[in-house]
């Protein structure tokens, strides 16, 4: 069934649940999300051109390794430190990726067992095979990365099938797949070797292009994601493509907020110009490079942390004045520069006393069209609106094809939808004086299978500015 947005000139043909949102100058509508961030990454380990889920650092290390020279770990870790509920990664490759391999011989010098890495890689894997200290006719198999032993199989012996099975079934072996060499005999003893490398692999990332990122984004459309960040990429044409992608998906009922940023040397004026060019509620443009554990991140990399932080928050939480993990931030901005940045739609990471905070939860929409007001310029509000859009659309399974399109059927649907808004009111996300009812004006001209409803609610923002007045008496 369909979901997405609609207008009077675009009545949908596919059965489904469609929403639209409008504001008057004084209205407060907004939205929220469910906690899943997506990011295309470059890596020397992990599944290729497939989306896989990571929920903590332990899973991240297991799936992509822990090499900070690659964005999968460096920025995957940074995103997870923002505490999203889930991180979806897509490993980018350029078509030249290749697994590494090594053929082990028996003591007769014949090919016996072939090892191939589980994923395309140039990781520095090597193997030592030596006689077991107790049973010299058996061999110890030690698998290394560099000089670090990753797993060991002691007293390895038996037929070639036995040896292959023992290597593949080892619970610590997340690295290689063993198989019988094409010319191997059934029996034999592995030849001793010392730190022999597994070679011929290629990460396949030398010639990554924007098209590879677009392919990843197309795959993400198949999943329920709430936030998207790039792995430190600052290319303007790719950024523009992300905006087009976000807008296209919004029309289809897929609400994704993208978090982007610029290069290390970018000036605040350049960042503000880019924010004004975006001018879209589902694009957040970050300025300020965070410093964490001595590592200096660019604004584009810092955007990954902000994506995790914003996406992981509950609907009633706000990024405004939110403390971050960073120890410091570069460059420093004056009060006037911060004010200009926020007015331009640039989210600023700045120092406040001894903390590094997000100054305000702005997105890039600041030149408001007729049907949108300044409420759409807040990440928290847009998250809320996305949540209403998604959550009410999910109810389509309960409604569509189940009720007669008469007063009774429409009343039952309205009652169910009111229950959803009552929950939001109890959480103080919206005011308690909301209304949910049949849109009688549009229903009067509806086709026999169409039902129009509308809701009105006061969006409750967080306190962002506090003004005090003091009187001094003698």
Q: What is the DSSP letter of 35?
A: S
User: What is the four-CA torsion angle of 434, 440, 441, 444, rounded to 10 degrees?
Assistant: 160
> Which segments within 198-267 are labelled E, that is strand?
227-229, 257-261
Q: Which pLDDT belongs to residue 336?
A: 96
Give all domains of the chain, ordered by start, each with its CATH number: 2-21+397-456 (no CATH), 36-92+207-358 (3.40.50.11780), 101-197 (2.60.40.4290)
Q: Can you tell me the distance from the alpha carbon of 302 to that of 125, in angstroms, rounded to the nearest whole number?
A: 32
- For 67-105, b where at least 16 C-beta lie within 10 A, e where not — what string? eeebbbbbbbbbbbbbebebbbbbbbbbeebebbebebb
Q: Which pLDDT belongs to residue 362?
A: 97
Phi, psi for residue 425 in degrees, rounded to 5: -65, -40
Q: Which of 193, 194, 198, 195 is nearest to 106 (CA)?
A: 193
β-bridge pairing 227-229 and 36-41: parallel
- Say which residue the tokens 């198989």 belong to: 179
Q: Which residues contact 227 (CB under 8 A, 6 or more apart)?
A: 33, 36, 37, 38, 84, 256, 257, 258, 259, 307, 308, 310, 311
196, 127 in Cβ contact below 8 A?
A: yes
Q: Which pLDDT belongs to residue 31?
A: 34
Q: Which residues contact 17 (CB under 8 A, 6 or more apart)?
A: 1, 2, 3, 392, 393, 395, 396, 399, 400
β-bridge pairing 111-117 and 101-105: antiparallel
330, 296 in Cβ contact below 8 A?
A: yes
350, 357 in Cβ contact below 8 A?
A: yes
Q: Which pLDDT belongs to residue 136?
A: 85
Phi, psi for residue 321 in degrees, rounded to 5: 60, 25
pTM for the model stands at 0.88
The HSE-up count of residue 328 (CA atoms within 13 Å, CB side) is 7
Q: Is it true that the peptide bond before 129 is cis, omega within 30 degrees of 0?
A: no
CA 409 to chain centre: 39
Phi, psi for residue 135 in degrees, rounded to 5: -115, 95
Mean pLDDT by 10 residues, the chain (474 residues): 52 47 31 78 98 97 97 99 98 98 93 97 98 92 98 94 97 97 81 98 98 98 96 98 97 94 98 98 98 98 98 93 97 96 98 95 93 89 87 78 91 88 88 94 92 91 86 87
Dihedral sign (CA 423, 256, 216, 291): negative
Tokens of 210: 């924007």
Q: Can you tell me the distance from the alpha carbon of 409 to that of 394, in angstroms, rounded to the nearest whole number?
A: 18
């Amino acid at each position: 069934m369909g979901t997405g947005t609609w207008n009077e000139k675009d009545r949908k043909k596919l059965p489904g649940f469609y929403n639209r949102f409008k504001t008057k100058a004084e209205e407060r509508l907004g939205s929220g999300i469910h906690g899943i961030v997506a990011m295309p990454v470059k890596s020397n380990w992990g599944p290729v051109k497939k989306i896989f889920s990571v929920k903590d650092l332990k899973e991240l290390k297991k799936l992509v390794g822990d090499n900070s020279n690659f964005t999968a770990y460096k920025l995957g870790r940074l995103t997870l430190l923002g505490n999203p509920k889930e991180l979806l990664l897509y490993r980018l490759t350029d078509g030249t990726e290749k697994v590494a391999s090594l053929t082990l011989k028996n003591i007769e010098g014949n090919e016996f067992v072939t090892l191939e890495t589980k994923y395309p890689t140039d990781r520095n894997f090597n193997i030592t095979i030596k006689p077991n200290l107790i049973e010299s006719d058996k061999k110890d198999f030690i698998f290394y990365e560099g000089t670090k032993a990753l797993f060991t199989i002691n007293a390895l012996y038996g037929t070639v099938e036995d040896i292959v099975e023992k290597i593949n079934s080892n619970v610590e072996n997340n690295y290689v797949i063993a198989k019988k060499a094409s010319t191997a005999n059934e029996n034999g003893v592995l030849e001793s070797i010392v730190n022999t490398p597994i070679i011929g692999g290629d990460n396949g990332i030398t010639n990554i292009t924007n098209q590879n990122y677009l392919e990843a984004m197309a795959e993400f459309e198949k999943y329920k994601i709430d936030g998207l960040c790039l792995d430190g990429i600052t290319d303007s044409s790719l950024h523009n493509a992300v905006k087009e992608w976000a807008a296209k998906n919004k029309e289809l009922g897929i609400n994704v907020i993208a978090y982007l940023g610029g290069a290390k040397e970018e000036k605040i004026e350049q960042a503000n110009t880019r924010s004004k060019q975006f001018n879209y509620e589902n694009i957040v443009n970050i300025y300020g490079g965070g410093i964490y554990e001595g590592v200096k991140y660019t604004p584009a990399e810092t955007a990954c942390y902000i994506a995790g932080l914003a996406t992981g928050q509950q609907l009633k939480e706000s990024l405004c004045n939110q403390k971050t993990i960073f120890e410091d931030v570069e460059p420093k901005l004056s009060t006037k520069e911060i004010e200009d940045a926020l007015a331009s739609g640039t989210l600023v990471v700045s120092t406040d006393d001894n903390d590094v905070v997000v100054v305000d939860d702005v997105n890039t929409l600041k030149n408001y069209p007729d049907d949108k007001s300044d409420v759409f310029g807040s990440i928290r509000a847009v998250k809320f609106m996305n949540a209403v859009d998604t959550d009410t659309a999910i109810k389509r399974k309960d409604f569509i094809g189940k009720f007669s399109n008469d007063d009774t059927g429409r009343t039952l649907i309205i009652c169910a939808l009111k229950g959803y808004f009552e929950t939001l009111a109890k959480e103080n996300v919206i005011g308690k004086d909301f209304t949910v009812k049949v849109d009688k004006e549009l229903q009067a001209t509806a086709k026999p299978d169409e039902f129009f409803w509308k809701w009105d609610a006061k969006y409750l923002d967080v306190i962002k500015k506090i003004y005090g007045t003091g009187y001094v008496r003698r």
